[in-house]
Structure 1
C-alpha cells in the first residue's frame, strides 16, 4: 500500500507544537505539585483548594469553543502566538506575596488562554498531514504534556523545596516567553486542506453544525474524552497530595513520583497512536483502529481506578491509579483524528474546539468533587478512595459509550451521500 508523503517542515511544526503542549501542562501541574505548600501558606482547607483547582477551567471550555470558530477564519500561527503570550505573562504575579483571590484570578486568565491550546495545535498540524497520517502527529503533540511534566517536575520540585512555590511559577513564565520567541521565528501555516474542496465530489464541503454535533460518533467522542479527562484532572490537582497525605511520601519524593502518570501515558499514547496509524495504513477501518481502540482503553482504565482503593500495598495502589489515568489518554490522539475524519476542513477548528471544551469540562467537576469527598470522609484515605472510585465509574461509562457508538467510517459515509439541497435546508 502506498504511503502518503508529507513535507519535512510538517515534522518541524509538530516539534514546535510538542513544546507548546509541554509548557501547557507544566502550567497546569504546578498547582497540584505545590499543593501542600500552597494550602499551608494560604491556610486553605481541602475543599477550598479543590475549588481553586476549578478556576482554571471556568473559561477553559468557553474559550476553546470561541477560538475554535475563530481559527476557521484566521491563521493558526497568530492564535497560538497569542495564547503563548497570555500563559507566560499570567505566571509572573505569583512571584510576589498573594492571596487566594489573586491566585484564582490568575488561574482563570490562564484557563482562558489554555482552553483552546490542544484543539488549535491539532488544527494547525492537520493542515500539514492527510487523514491516514494524523494519529501519530496527534499522539506526539498530545504527549508534549507528558514530557513536559517528566522534564519540568523534577526542576519545579527542586525550586519549590529549595526556594519557594512562588519562584516555580516565575520559572514557567520565563520558559513560556522563550517558546513565544521560537514560534514567532519558525512557526508556519500549512498550505494544505483548510481551503481545499473535497476530493470526492459526493462529499459535502459544509455540513450544518447541528448535524455535525448531534451525530452519534461526535457525541460518543465527547463522552470518551470527558471520561478520560476526569482522571487527568484529578491527577493534576490531587495526585501529589494523595502521595503525601495518604501514602506517606515526602514532598520531594512525591514530586518525583508525580511524573509517573505522564511517563506511562507517554508510552501508551505514542504506542497507541503508532498502532492506530499502522492499522489504518494497512487497511483496517477507523472503526477498529480508532473507535474500538479508544473504547477499550477507557474500559481498562475505569476498571483499574475502581479497583485501586480496595487493594493492599502502596505499589499496587499506585500502579492501578497509573493504569486508570494513563491508558485512557489514548483518546487525546484518536478522538480528534476521528472528528477530523468526518468533518469538512473548513469547519474542523470549531468541531475540535467544541470536542475539547466538552471533554475538558470534567476539570470543573473532578477537583472539587475530590476535595469534597476528602473533607466529608472519616479519613483522608477513605475520601481519596471514594474520589478515585467515582472517577473510575465515569471513565468506565465513557469507555462503554465509545465501544458502542464510535463509528467514524459509517458516519463519514452518511455525510458523503447528503444531497446539496439537504445541506442547504439544514
Structure 2
C-alpha cells in the first residue's frame, strides 16, 4: 500500500470531519440570534439543539449497515450533499417547527459519516497505526471548530444567522464534489475500476443475528456507555457552550467566538497526544489494555473537572477548567479505536453504528436537560451533570470493557447480557 495514498485519504477525512462539525455546530453560534428573531425560550432552543440527534441516533444502526454494504466513494458524497442542502434550508425557515425539521434532516444524513470514517481507517491503516489515524481525523472536530468559531462569528456578523447557514451548506456541497473525484477505495486505480477482492470480502449484508449480537455483548456495552458519557461533554460544547459564555458569563458575540475557540484548541492537542501516544505504546510492546484504555480513562477523569468552573469567577480561570475538561474529552476521543479492535471484522460498520447510536442519545437527552436546568439562568447544575457523566464513562471502561481483542463472531462462545 502506498503510504502517500494513506495519508492523502486521511487528509480527505480530516477536512470532511471539519465540515461535518461545522454543520452541526453553526446552530450554537447562531442560537442567541435565532432565539431573538423567532422569539424562542431556552427550552425551545434545547429542543432545536436536540432535534439533530433524534434522527442522528435513530439512523446509526441502519446507517452502519449501509456502510457495510455500500462503497464509500459513492456513499460519502451523497450524504454530504444531502446534509448540506438541509443546512442551507435552515437559513430560510421562519418557525420553530421548520427549524426542528431541518435539524432532524441534518442528523439523518450525517448519521453514516462516523461509521464510514471508521471503516475507511480500518481498511487503509494497520492496527498499530489506527489510534493515530483516528486521532488525526477526529482532531478535525476540535481544531476545525477552534478556528471556525471566530470565523463563523464574523460570518454571522456580516451576513446574519441566515447567511451563516447558507454559506456553510454551500461549502459542504463543494466538498462533496471534491471527495467523489479525489477518493479511491483501497486498490482502486481509476473511476471505473472495481473494488479489490479484499474490500469486497468486507461487505456484509444486514442480519438480525448480527444486530442482536451487537446489542447484547457486554464488552460492546462497555464502549457504548463510554461513548454516551464522552458525548455528553462534547454536546455541551457543541450546543450550549457559546450561550453559557454569552448569557451566564456576559460576553458579546465576537468575544464569545474568541473564548470559545480556546477549549477546542485544547481538545485538539488532547486527541493528537492520545492517538500518537497510544500507538507508540503499542509499538513499544505494551498491551492494548494499557495502551488503548489509559488515554480514555485519564481523559474521562479530566473531563470531570468541568465542575470546577462553577467555583471560579474570572474568565481566565473559567477558561482554564473548561479547557482542561475539553482536553480530557480530546484524550478520550480515540475511543473509536475500540470499534475497529473489538468488533468482529465483518461487523465493523454495524458495531460502529450501535456505538454511535448510544453515543448519539447523549445529543438527544443532554441539550433538552440543560435547557430545563438553565431556565433561571444558572448553569451550575448543567456543569455538575456533565462532570458526573464523565466519571460514569470512566467506570464503564474500567469495569465493563475487559480485554481489548476482537470478539468472536456469532456461533462461537461470546459473553452476552441477558435479554
Cα distance in 2 for residues equivalent to 1:40 and 1:124: 42
Task: Tell me, yes or no, if structure 1 residue 402 matches structure 2 residue 394.
Answer: no
* 1:285-364 alignment runs, 5 A limit: 285-302=287-304, 304-333=305-334, 335-364=335-364
| Cα distance change, pair 327–6 in 1 and its aligned pair in 2 (3 A) | farther
Task: Tell me, yes or no, if structure 1 residue 139 matches structure 2 residue 147.
Answer: no
| Cα distance change, pair 124–179 in 1 and its aligned pair in 2 (3 A) | same
| Cα distance change, pair 152–111 in 1 and its aligned pair in 2 (3 A) | same
Q: Which moved more, 1:291-300 or 1:210-219?
A: 210-219
Cα distance in 1 for residues equivalent to 2:54 and 2:109: 11
Superposition deviation, residue 40 in structure 1:
0.5
* 1:188-337 alignment runs, 5 A limit: 188-191=184-187, 194-195=199-200, 208-302=210-304, 304-333=305-334, 335-337=335-337
Task: Tell me, yes or no, if structure 1 residue 15 matches structure 2 residue 11.
Answer: yes
- RMSD of aligned residue pairs (Cα, Å): 2.1
Q: Which moved more, 1:278-287 or 1:293-302?
A: 293-302
Superposition deviation, residue 6 in structure 1:
5.8
Cα distance in 2 for residues equivalent to 1:265 and 1:78: 31
Partner of 2:387: 392
TM-score, normalised relative to structure 2: 0.90
Task: Render the CA deviation track for 1:178-198: whole Å, top value 9, x for unaligned.
Answer: 11111110111124855559x
| Cα distance change, pair 308–121 in 1 and its aligned pair in 2 (3 A) | same
Task: Tell me, yes or no, if structure 1 residue 69 matches structure 2 residue 65.
Answer: yes
Cα distance in 2 for residues equivalent to 1:362 and 1:338: 19
| Cα distance change, pair 133–408 in 1 and its aligned pair in 2 (3 A) | farther
Cα distance in 1 for residues equivalent to 2:221 and 2:332: 14
Task: Render the CA deviation track for 1:80-118: whole Å, top value 9, x for unaligned.
Answer: 111111121112223435222221111110000112211
| Unaligned ranges ≥5, structure 2 | 188-195, 203-208, 415-419
Task: Render the CA deviation track for 1:289-344: whole Å, top value 9, x for unaligned.
Answer: 11232122102211x022221234332222212222331233332x2212211223
| Cα distance change, pair 331–215 in 1 and its aligned pair in 2 (3 A) | farther
Q: Which moved more, 1:336-345 or 1:94-103?
A: 94-103
Partner of 1:369: 369
| Cα distance change, pair 280–41 in 1 and its aligned pair in 2 (3 A) | same
| Cα distance change, pair 92–293 in 1 and its aligned pair in 2 (3 A) | closer
Aligned partner of residue 59 in structure 1, secondary structure? helix
Aligned partner of residue 239 in structure 2, secondary structure? helix
Aligned partner of residue 164 in structure 1, secondary structure? helix
Point out 4+ residue stretches in structure 1 off by more than 6 angstroms. none
| Unaligned ranges ≥5, structure 1 | 198-206
Would you say the 8 A contact 2:43–2:372 is kept in 1? yes
Task: Render the CA deviation track for 1:186-220: whole Å, top value 9, x for unaligned.
Answer: 111124855559xxxxxxxxx95544443333111
- Report the number of matched residues: 399
Q: Which moved more, 1:390-399 or 1:140-149?
A: 140-149
Q: 99, 104, 108: which is aligned to 1:108?
A: 104
Aligned partner of residue 286 in structure 2, secondary structure? coil
| Cα distance change, pair 181–322 in 1 and its aligned pair in 2 (3 A) | same
Cα distance in 2 for residues equivalent to 1:77 and 1:357: 23
| Cα distance change, pair 143–186 in 1 and its aligned pair in 2 (3 A) | same
Would you say the 8 A contact 1:230–1:363 is kept in 2? yes
Would you say the 8 A contact 2:214–2:350 is kept in 1? no
